[in-house]
Structure 1
Amino acid sequence: MATPQSATTIEEKVEGFTKQSIAEHNSAFHALVDEGKLANVVTLTARNGKVINCDAYGVHNVSATPSVPVKTDSIFRIASMAKPITAAAMMMLWEEGKWALEDPVCKFIPEFDGLKVRQDDGEPVSQESPMSMKQLMSHSAGFGSRRDYDDLRNGTLQDMIDTLASQPLFFQPGKAWRYGPCVDIQGYIIQKLTGKSVDEFLQERMFKPLGMEDSGWVLPESKLARLVSNHKYDKSLEKLVAVDLAGTYNNSTPNFVAAGGGLMLSTVQDYWRFSQMILNGGEYEGKRYLKAETVQMMHTNVLEPGVAVRIGPYDWKGLGFGLGFAIVQDPAASKTTSGFQSYFWGGAYGSWFWIDPIRNVVAVGFVNNLRGSTPAGMPVLRELQAKFIESALNDATE
């Protein structure tokens, strides 16, 4: 059995959470590790700007001897949880007047001017209207999903742009939602508008001032021991084993800094700082990063009527999408207990977060599995945490 680590002292009752409700939450996640379904899990819950619970359980690498316990400052690959951070960076530039929501994307990327739209039964046709920056920010610009392309991250950002410019779009801009290269394209635009790579811009404007000391795409040698291994099941599908990603991280910036995620690194406490800033309406510890009305716009649905948020074969009913976040518009239809108007996203290796502006809650959870947060018949981890949080707060109001 692993040894838990908690960064908080649990009082009898804090911000609506009781000592018992927090213990039940932690025990449920610990059980998944003890049952061999997870190698580790780190969760954080905050309400009204106060971290109520930050808990770590499990080991960095189940295949290593001796084992190293996971801690609340362990570093995880957060993959697509970089996307909301990139969206916030884009909105900083929007506030500075460097782009407008209705600007055509080709204003900043001339290679995209005149892109055709493929048809199932004929020659590609012209766009009904040029893809806009708003559509690029909301995954509705017309690009396909990542699986529709050869690996766009093998070369440089310019190589990605050239590849995308050489083939037609998958749908008319604004008429569908597809989870693909839109945020990596935003990273390219950040580079063009600022003269800095997205990691440099974020380090200067967000990571350093917010105190996100362990976030970015480069892992210094001094922090390597804090990096959690990725995991998968062996051929029997019964035993977790660590995945060797040797050589992935070093002291130099990668050739392709993926603003859409890639191998971005962070800790739950770093990601909470970003999320709390967003929940606070763009302000954190006396410093303003975005205007409150800008943040409100980011988690307001911008999709056209009838456009569904869809990943693979699944439509996520009851959800909208803003400028960087999915938004719960109908909790019953989306089968979630994370709350009406909550907004969220997750990462390919199982990390998750959501912000509940009505409950004034931020929740973050990190695991690193090749099958994300649902291996081996396990519950969806974001939803598991949501159920405990909502239950605790509902009990507190009775």
Structure 2
Amino acid sequence: MTGEGRISKAGFDRLRAVMADHVERGELPGLVMLVSRHGEVHADAIGRLAFEGSSMSRDSLFRITSMTKPVTAAAAMVLVEDGKIGLDDAVDRWLPELANRKVLLRADMMVHQTVPARRAISLRDLLTFRCGYGIIPVFPERLPIQRAYAEAGLAPGPVFPSFPPDELMRRYGSLPLIYQPGERWLYNAGSEILGVLIARLTGKTFGEFLSERIFAPLGMKDTAFYAPKDKHHRFTTAYMYDSAARQLKVFDPPVTGRFSNPPVFENGAAGLVSTADDFNAFAQMMLGGGSLGGTRVLSEESVALMTTNHIVADEKRESQLFLGRSRGWGFGLSVFTGLDDPNARPGRFGWDGGYGTSWYSAPKTQLTGILLTQRVMDSPTPPAVFTDFWTTLDEIAAK
């Protein structure tokens, strides 16, 4: 292997020192980082599972929240390849709650001020987040549709919906679309709905399908919708900053928390628990055009569709808070198109998790970075530990 294909020990030690500084300053109790290039992997664990807990280990479990979205998209593409559904098929055959949609006249209108949808919602709409449902990033919430989402229990926030799948769909079905299908990119709802669609299409729970078609083939033995009791000793404590108390407080404990037992709703947008090595298996499958170690999960064509930008600037204009100017959206993940972001390298794809996790892979350089922390993000703006991780990684990878 040539020097250009390696991350040197000195380079990785430099990255480790930068990350350890964040832990030593008390910004977070610990982290696990993993860097892979052309199959060569460097990984390390720093700090503790909790501020007063045992030492962090490479196989520590984290709530990866929105890093679940690309996994959900991959599962949908498995069904496309199986011939169960087409990208442009209407989903209301399996999700009748979404049939005959009404659409707001404008996003700021009252919820009864609607027109009929021009067409049905398709699988492609769900994958590209242009289904008409989603988050309007106007804070504090003041639009009628935002209040309607809150009343339905679907408002954005660090605590995710926990309704049974059928009840979740009933609640979405009670709301008008914010935009016409295919018209605007709106964050999050597409992946929640996709998980329900996959379960109904297959006649299995969403978790069962993921285990059979993605996790087991890739050897992702620690990835699931909760951490079972025999793994609680490896499960991190999640923290959130309390601005009133001016300190980090426990947000989700490892034994009695929301991710410690089988959930009522297996959330395709934010529900998975995983490890750095498990998620790297998924990342390497994506970099490998759908296969890993001779095991094929997806076709090269499906991976290409997932990692190609499908939206134009006008379609994300209300959601710059999430994507900025440099990122587009593929299927369930972001795709970088510009250089005005610390993570940005054109073609790099991946996504972050709101509880403090980040993953991106670059096909051109075969570089993957995975950072897992347990501090819930304070805002959509990446925290300093993210920025330092990606900036330093790109610097050492360029040498």
- In the superposition, the TM-score normalised over structure 1's length comes to 0.87
What is the CA distance between 1:151 and its match in structure 2? Answer: 2.5
Counterpart of 1:7 in structure 2 is: none
SS in 2 for 1:43: strand
* 2:132 pairs with 1:142: yes
Residues 280-339 of structure 1: CA deviation (Å, up to 9, x unaligned): 00001111111111101111122256212765855511221111111001123xx23441
Q: Is the 8 A contact 2:103 2:180 kept in 1?
A: yes
Counterpart of 2:60 in structure 1 is: 74
- Which segments of 5 or more consecutive residues in structure 1 lack a partner in the other structure? 1-11
What is the CA distance between 1:371 and its match in structure 2? Answer: 2.6
Distance 1:183 1:172, change over 3 A: same
Q: State the distance in 1 between where 2:95 and 2:244 align.
A: 48
Picking from 342, 353, 362, the partner of 2:368 is: 362
What is the CA distance between 1:129 and its match in structure 2? Answer: 2.7
Q: Is the 8 A contact 1:37 1:378 kept in 2?
A: no
Picking from 25, 33, 47, the partner of 1:58 is: 47
Picking from 150, 153, 177, the partner of 1:151 is: 153
Q: State the distance in 2 between where 1:251 and 1:37 align.
A: 24
Q: Is the 8 A contact 2:241 2:378 kept in 1?
A: no
Q: State the distance in 1 between where 2:203 and 2:240 align.
A: 39
Question: 2:57 corresponds to which letter in structure 1?
Answer: K
Counterpart of 2:377 in structure 1 is: 371
1:9-88 mapped onto 2 (5 Å cutoff): 15-51=5-41, 53-62=42-51, 64=52, 67-88=53-74
Distance 1:244 1:80, change over 3 A: closer
Question: 1:379 corresponds to which letter in structure 2?
Answer: A
Q: Is the 8 A contact 2:290 2:300 kept in 1?
A: yes
Q: Is the 8 A contact 2:358 2:370 kept in 1?
A: yes
Picking from 100, 104, 122, the partner of 1:118 is: 104
Residues 79-121 of structure 1: CA deviation (Å, up to 9, x unaligned): 1111111111110000011111111222321221111001245
- Which segments of 5 or more consecutive residues in structure 2 lack a partner in the other structure? 137-145, 155-160
Question: 1:340 corresponds to which letter in structure 2?
Answer: P
SS in 2 for 1:307: helix
User: Which structure ranks higher in relative contact order (CA pairs < 8 Å, sequence separation ≥ 6)?
Assistant: 2
Q: State the distance in 1 between where 2:120 and 2:78 align.
A: 24
Q: Provide the aligned C-alpha RMSD in A.
A: 2.5
What is the CA distance between 1:384 and its match in structure 2? Answer: 2.2
Q: State the distance in 2 between where 1:302 and 1:374 align.
A: 22
Distance 1:162 1:268, change over 3 A: same
Q: State the distance in 2 between where 1:287 and 1:313 align.
A: 38
Question: 1:360 corresponds to which letter in structure 2?
Answer: Q
Residues 334-391 of structure 1: CA deviation (Å, up to 9, x unaligned): x23441110111111010100100111111110111336889x95150x322222221
Q: State the distance in 2 between where 1:322 and 1:241 align.
A: 35
Q: Is the 8 A contact 2:338 2:344 kept in 1?
A: no
SS in 2 for 1:178: coil
Distance 1:315 1:341, change over 3 A: closer
Picking from 307, 310, 315, the partner of 1:299 is: 307
SS in 2 for 1:242: strand
Question: 1:198 corresponds to which letter in structure 2?
Answer: F
Q: Is the 8 A contact 2:309 2:335 kept in 1?
A: yes
Residues 7-38 of structure 1: CA deviation (Å, up to 9, x unaligned): xxxxx968332222111111000000001112
Q: Is the 8 A contact 1:338 1:356 kept in 2?
A: no
Distance 1:380 1:116, change over 3 A: farther
Question: 2:263 corresponds to which letter in structure 1?
Answer: P
Q: State the distance in 1 between where 2:327 and 2:260 align.
A: 39
- In the superposition, the TM-score normalised over structure 2's length comes to 0.87
SS in 2 for 1:308: helix
Q: State the distance in 1 between where 2:277 and 2:27 align.
A: 24
Identity %: 29
What is the CA distance between 1:251 and its match in structure 2? Answer: 7.7
Q: State the distance in 2 between where 1:355 and 1:244 align.
A: 29
Q: State the distance in 2 between where 1:137 and 1:374 align.
A: 21
Question: 2:377 corresponds to which letter in structure 1?
Answer: R
Q: State the distance in 2 between where 1:271 and 1:58 align.
A: 20
1:99-110 mapped onto 2 (5 Å cutoff): 99-110=85-96
